[in-house]
A and B are shown apart, each in its own frame.
Chain A
């Protein structure tokens, strides 16, 4: 039987639906950057070793370089283009801007998406490798700078803006944020 190596898929991104044909080899990252012109998500290593391509999938931070676009069908994907509320920056974005949490800016969308996902994980009571005692009866760990550093370690910044990134994340943690994930809207047909 003829084996199909491409498919027409529908991706839910930032509250919109995009239907497009994809080569099965196309990663979610390449679909965003090369097919949907959502170039805010960055390709730093294409191997899951830098975090620059971090996006939220069903509200959780993931690297988009190690997911095939076709496997992301049916999931709610939020990229850097979708975290602000119109002109109103997300508190994490605002803190990065105000506190200079970047230099060249290339790792920045990944840092911001990662921070948003991380703050959600922390709010859910998740411990980390920096948590002294992981037993649930001890209660959720306070979000110290050491906790932030450990939890953000999957995002490399070669400019090494780490000090101000941690400062920005800490500030954003004190600012309540609107929920990120909205219901998908109408399908947008993408040209083949």
Chain B
């Protein structure tokens, strides 16, 4: 019947494992991703990228290509529609000009989009794109990233570039034990399994975009601004997204597809190739980090200095804020952190899973291990002795900080108390064995979001929110959150996401997605429950309420809000071949209320495996002479595969902040933080050699030899 029954009190959904609501579609192949929706008259666009690292386009020889079979158009700076880049978008910055394709003849890096060839079929488009001759006036380039670069400058990004308190040099001089070391991390790429893809279609003045992204709201806003459109006339859908990890914002392929669809008045799909992703999808900058720690003999920190240098393009300032992690994790009498950036002729970097924290924690948590060794202290004990009682830089109280519980529970489960601290003394056949640990944290932010919930006449509820499920399980998590908030079983909840028509919502990024969207869903549920009187008749069109958390998010008290974790790793190292194998991993996290334990486990272990992959495998090679990538594919850029991944466990401890209106924290990123350090610390424990440059590849193990 059509009466409401919200008084029944079913089993709570949050906290119980629930299979993904779209799971059946994913295991049967029915789930359609952005490049998979068929359209009558669809044309295929193929990007042409620059083969020089710096210069000007002198000529694009389009005539022969336009004669090729099936070719419909060649878009380039000489004929492409104008786009406007002078605006501040949803992310609080101007757009990366890399997405504003074909606006001028300058080439700021190798792999810069210079043209789009559109043809009837993808085979024709590819051959035509590869046949397009482009003449350049090539200019000298510089892609060499060096700690001594005189052009390095402080850049704030989303945090201040520099924090400073106390007299660093004096405290270092007065310290009983000092560690002063440099760490480096390489250029890393997101490489989601689904390449970036977009289909654009104009229909009576309205633009429809089927796209793979981490926020339909973000894409609508930026596309509308770029093309001077009313955002209401732009519709973005991204029902299923094959991974993002920070790379799926507004990029060249969407803009190129929109341009081509406008010029041709046909639907146009543009899909990046894997190789193109290496210059057009963003990446994590390499870092050079210097960490200086000064401590009393008992390990208490007197001085902490963490300085990070990262790299950006010449067209867009992006900072990899690796020094930020120390501002949360550890205090010292003198505390200095700074992030600097150097501009080179390379593609723009961007956020990549655990931005700042992932490389920053490698340096900081490895340096702490070196300090523990020098102090003759257990590395966990060293960390616990330096637990701050307030934000080391901000002075703000912690909303909740359960790092100690993570270490204690992790140590118990890992068997840490049986660990012999001496390095290089355990052997299993050809393998040297060692174990290591590291701490982790990641901010628990929130972004304003809107949601609508409709109480349907059939007794079900439809939740609409422009969330993106990039694999996090957000669609399922929101189903559980809504079920509890409405006090109905999950089978009466239908969650629709990935559609800009549902109103603005925060991004799937920064570990803010599920927290932000749950907030909006909870708020809408409360309001709906107030509207629904037991026994009332629901009209055929249902009863719909809309929430907006903008004010609530802004009103949140200023505190240090983070999730925490303790990482444990056991490795085996063959000193004869340089092979490193991780044998087991354990991560214990304090990350708020866990909505869906089944999918949460995947988020944590997925992050941890990213850390393993970062520690041992990932490095993008760049040729200094040509300025571009070498081996830009999944055979040249190694990510961990099945055989690399050992027995891995992730679990969590209680983490309650009674004042937090959501109680849910993001869990997508804290899992990667600290892992690379834990691996490096374990490699030292196995071999007695400190590896301060990632990845710890066989060649580096062999080159380092056996002596410290």
Closest to A47 in B: B633
Would you call A97 and B19 a contact (CB within 8 A)?
yes
Docked CA distance A52–B33 (Å):
13
Contact with B along A26-58 (1 / 0, CB 8 A): 100010011001111111111101101000000
A188 partner residues in chain B, CB cutoff 8 A: none
Annotate A134-174 by CB proximity to B: 1 below 8 A, 0 otherwise.
Answer: 00000000000100111011111111111111100000000
Q: Which residues on B sit within 8 Å (CB–CB) of A112?
A: 27
CB <8 Å contact, B634 and A49:
yes
Residues in B whose Cβ lies below 8 Å from that of A104: 192-194, 240-243, 470-471
Known: A106-B193, A166-B642. A159 touches B606 (CB 8 A): yes
Q: How large is the interface on B (under 10, 10 to 19, 20 to 34, 35 or more residues)?
A: 35 or more
B648 at the interface (CB under 8 A from A): yes
Q: Are B642 and A105 in contact (CB under 8 A)?
A: no
Q: Given that A103-B606, A160-B605 are known contacts, is A153 also in contact with B642, CB under 8 Å in the complex?
A: yes
Interface string of B381-411 (1 = CB under 8 A from A): 0000000000000000000000000000000
Q: Is A41 in contact with B29, judged by CB distance below 8 angstroms?
A: yes
Nearest chain-B residue to A82 (Cβ)? B29
Contacting residues of chain B (1-34) with chain A, CB-CB under 8 angstroms: 19-20, 22-33
CB-CB under 8 A for A156 and B645, given A100-B598, A104-B470, A105-B31? no
> Is B498 on the interface with A (CB-CB < 8 A)?
no
Do the beta carbons of A160 and B29 come within 8 Å of each other?
no
Of A46, A50, A97, the contact of B273 (CB 8 Å cutoff): A46
Are the CB atoms of B635 and A108 closer together than 8 Å?
no
A50-B193, A97-B19 are known contacts. Are A156 and B641 too (CB-CB below 8 A)? yes
B623 CB to closest chain A CB (Å) equals 20
Please measure, in the bound complex, the distance between the C-alpha atom of A44 and the C-alpha atom of B35, giving whole angstroms: 12
Q: A42-B193, A160-B605 are in contact. Are A80 and B29 (CB under 8 A)?
A: yes
Q: How far is the CA of A98 from the CA of B122 in the complex (A)?
A: 37
B599 contacts the other chain (CB 8 A): yes
On whether the beta carbons of B195 and A105 are closer than 8 Å, the reply is no
Instruction: Tell me, yes or no, whether B613 is within 8 Å of chain A by CB.
Output: yes
Beyond A153-B642, A156-B193, is A33–B635 a contact (Cβ under 8 Å)? no
Contact among B26, B123, B633, B635 for A30, CB-based, below 8 A: B123
Assembly CA distance A107 to B607 (angstroms):
17
Contact A149 B193, beta carbon cutoff 8 Å: no
In the bound complex, do residue B643 and residue A106 qualify as a contact, i.e. CB atoms below 8 Å apart?
A: no
A44-B274, A46-B273 as given contacts; A93 in contact with B28, CB under 8 Å: yes
A23 interface hit (Cβ, 8 Å): yes
Which of these, A93, A106, A164, contacts B194 with CB under 8 Å? A106
23 A-B residue pairings within 8 Å (CB atoms): A23-B124, A30-B123, A34-B121, A34-B122, A39-B32, A40-B30, A42-B193, A42-B242, A43-B35, A44-B274, A81-B29, A81-B30, A94-B27, A96-B23, A102-B23, A103-B243, A106-B194, A112-B27, A148-B642, A158-B190, A158-B191, A159-B193, A159-B243
In addition to A94-B27, A100-B20, A154-B641, 20 A-B residue pairs with Cβ atoms within 8 Å of each other are: A37-B38, A40-B28, A45-B634, A47-B274, A81-B29, A84-B28, A96-B23, A97-B19, A100-B19, A103-B243, A103-B603, A104-B243, A155-B641, A158-B639, A159-B471, A160-B605, A160-B640, A162-B609, A162-B642, A165-B642
